[in-house]
């Protein structure tokens, strides 16, 4: 939405044409709020589960929406965005945890990925709403109406979260095992009482929770206790930065300045490009979410980073040449815009996968803290970009893109050398891979019957690893 508002003349005029540090502060208002929310998220999730914090976050965000819609000056607008960020920080941390712990095992990465992509749906709505209001109104309603309509999704979430089931893992952790079992039977066992799959999942959950409690995994210091947890901490910390430090912040928050830098300055054209980018992101975010378990986490990460680097490299070269020609080459400007769309296609390969990946590499008792760390990395990276990007784009223009080409190379190398594959593994199996140093091949061997284990067959689907005689049991 901020992309669209920057393009609307009435918004720019109302707030005194913010740029540089003032524009960075408006952009980072969301990040300030998100960072503030990190203080309370982990204890909130641990004490009240997943559903209640989602409702709390939605309510706080709605207050921010009211303030933004009614903003009378720059300070009030920034304060509103801080509140929106605070509520959104709680939402963004809690929702993927609930989904990762609730969804059917084989559907987890796809569901969490598609949910992440609903962010693109919000961007799509915001882009085209601001396009419409900019053409319909010349006064402050051109930006107040889009601001007010932000309330719709959080209002929807606030109402319907009360009908959502609670995380069975949290219920089991709180000693409410029968409630947890009923949820697993209803949503994973097709309502069958005594479902073999539900029984097997309860055994896995109980085993993992017993191990966690035995090791007293309850404090932040636990991240440093074992080599496995230090490895997890490295992945969780870096992935938050990586997914936000790949040049996407330029396009997500400063498209107006990017398009100015390549000679596209007409308001209607910029709004149309902004709308097209959101459609592109929404489509490919959902498309790639269907392939996480087919292609795997590492290939999606690596191909995505390589594709983004290639698009940014071409964009940098084209912009440099075109600027040298005073943007007289219209075909080159169109090609540059095409590279922005190509970049978006490849960004949506790893982007929707991050939340699922974090849930997979984190043990239960540290999972809420893991998402807090991820949010801190996300907010920190965007905080930096929020201030540096508009200043750098204004000062050195297209040369700033070279920096992001270098960052993308660094991201690729970190993923290549340090990120393990977690495809087709349950949350408990991934924990086993880290904590007991079980290789991916050993887990594959277990699934194929070469090692001892457990297995369950529900319909045509196999879950687990142990074969007893000729009958597979949970």
The domain that contains 258 carries what CATH number? 1.20.1250.20
Residue 254: predicted pLDDT: 64
The answer to whether position 454 is within a domain reads: no
Number of folded domains that form the chain = 1
Query: Which residues face 471 on adjacent strands?
Result: 468
Residue 193: predicted pLDDT: 86
Calpha distance 440→425 (Å, rounded): 9
Phi, psi of 458 (to 5 degrees): -120, 110
Q: Name residue, tokens 């938050």.
A: 240
Highest mean pLDDT among 40-49, 124-133, 305-314, 381-390: 305-314
**Which H or E run includes 327?**
none
The answer to whether position 204 is within a domain reads: no
Confidence of residue 110 (pLDDT cuts 50, 70, 90): confident
**Which H or E run includes 423?**
none
Average pLDDT over residues 385-389: 77
The answer to whether position 345 is within a domain reads: yes
Confidence of residue 443 (pLDDT cuts 50, 70, 90): very low
Residue 215: predicted pLDDT: 57
Residue 470: predicted pLDDT: 36
Confidence of residue 136 (pLDDT cuts 50, 70, 90): confident
Provide the 10 A C-beta neighbour count for residue 453. 16
Residue of 297 and 434 predicted with greater confidence: 297
The answer to whether position 252 is within a domain reads: yes
Calpha distance 266→330 (Å, rounded): 13
Confidence of residue 440 (pLDDT cuts 50, 70, 90): very low
Q: Name residue, tokens 């051109």.
A: 142
Calpha distance 352→388 (Å, rounded): 25
Residue 223: predicted pLDDT: 86
Phi, psi of 349 (to 5 degrees): -75, -55
Calpha distance 431→210 (Å, rounded): 13
Residue 416: predicted pLDDT: 95
The answer to whether position 403 is within a domain reads: yes
Residue 462 has pLDDT above 60, yes or no: no
Residues in Cβ contact with 233 at an 8 Å cutoff, skipping those fewer than 6 apart: 223, 224, 373
Task: Work out the angle at residue 105's Cα, subtended by the Cα atoms of residues 104 and 107, and round it to the nearest 5 degrees.
Answer: 65
Task: Answer positive or negative: Cα dihedral of 33, 36, 38, 40.
Answer: negative
Average pLDDT over residues 132-152: 90
HSE (side-chain half, CA atoms, 13 Å) at 39: 5
Residue of 48 and 225 predicted with greater confidence: 48
Question: What is the domain extent for residue 247?
Answer: 2-170+218-418
Residue 328: exposure state from Cβ atoms within 10 A (0-12, 13-18, ≥19): exposed
The answer to whether position 446 is within a domain reads: no
pTM over 0.85: no
Average pLDDT over residues 357-371: 83
> What's the pLDDT tens digit per position in 50-75?
999 999 999 999 999 999 999 999 99
The answer to whether position 211 is within a domain reads: no
Residue 86: predicted pLDDT: 94
Residue 23 has pLDDT above 90, yes or no: no
The answer to whether position 213 is within a domain reads: no
């Amino acid at each position: 939405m901020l992309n669209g508002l920057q393009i609307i003349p009435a918004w720019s005029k109302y707030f005194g044409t913010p740029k540089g540090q003032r524009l960075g502060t408006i952009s980072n208002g969301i990040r300030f709020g998100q960072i503030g929310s990190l203080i309370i998220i982990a204890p909130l999730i641990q004490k009240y589960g997943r559903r209640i914090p989602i409702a709390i976050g939605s309510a706080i965000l709605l207050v921010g929406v009211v303030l933004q819609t009614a903003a009378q000056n720059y300070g009030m607008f920034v304060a509103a965005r801080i509140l929106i960020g605070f509520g959104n920080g709680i939402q963004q941390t809690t929702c993927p945890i609930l989904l990762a712990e609730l969804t059917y095992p084989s559907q987890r990465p796809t569901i969490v990925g598609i949910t992440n992509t609903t962010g693109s749906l919000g961007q799509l709505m915001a882009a085209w709403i601001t396009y419409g209001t900019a053409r319909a109104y010349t006064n402050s309603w051109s930006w107040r109406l889009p601001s007010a309509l932000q309330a719709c999704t959080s209002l929807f979430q606030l109402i319907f979260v009360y009908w959502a089931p609670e995380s069975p893992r949290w219920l089991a952790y709180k000693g409410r095992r029968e409630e947890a079992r009923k949820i697993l039977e209803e949503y994973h066992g097709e309502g069958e009482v005594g479902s073999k799959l539900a029984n097997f999942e309860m055994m896995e959950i109980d085993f993992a929770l017993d191990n966690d409690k035995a090791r007293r995994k309850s404090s932040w210091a636990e991240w440093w206790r074992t080599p496995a947890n230090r490895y997890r901490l490295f992945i969780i910390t870096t992935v938050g930065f990586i997914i936000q430090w790949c040049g996407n912040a330029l396009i997500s928050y400063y498209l107006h300045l990017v398009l100015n830098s390549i000679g596209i300055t007409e308001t209607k054209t910029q709004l149309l490009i902004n709308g097209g980018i959101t459609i592109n992101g929404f489509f490919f975010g959902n498309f790639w979410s269907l392939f996480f378990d087919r292609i795997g986490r590492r290939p999606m990460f690596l191909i995505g980073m390589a594709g983004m680097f290639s698009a940014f490299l071409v964009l940098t070269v084209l912009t440099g040449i075109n600027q040298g020609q005073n943007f007289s080459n219209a075909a080159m400007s169109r090609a540059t815009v095409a590279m922005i769309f190509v970049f978006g296609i490849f960004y949506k390969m790893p982007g929707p996968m991050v939340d699922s990946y974090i849930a997979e590499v984190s043990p239960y008792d540290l999972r809420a803290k893991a998402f807090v760390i991820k949010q801190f990395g996300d907010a920190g990276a965007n905080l930096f970009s929020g201030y540096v990007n508009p200043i750098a784009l204004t000062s050195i223009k297209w040369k700033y893109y070279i920096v992001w080409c270098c960052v993308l190379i660094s991201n690729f190398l970190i993923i290549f050398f340090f990120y393990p594959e977690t495809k087709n593994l349950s949350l408990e199996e991934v924990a086993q891979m880290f904590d007991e140093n079980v290789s991916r091949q050993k887990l594959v061997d277990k699934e194929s019957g070469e090692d001892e284990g457990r297995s369950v067959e529900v319909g045509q689907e196999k879950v687990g690893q142990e074969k007893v005689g000729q009958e597979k049991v949970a």
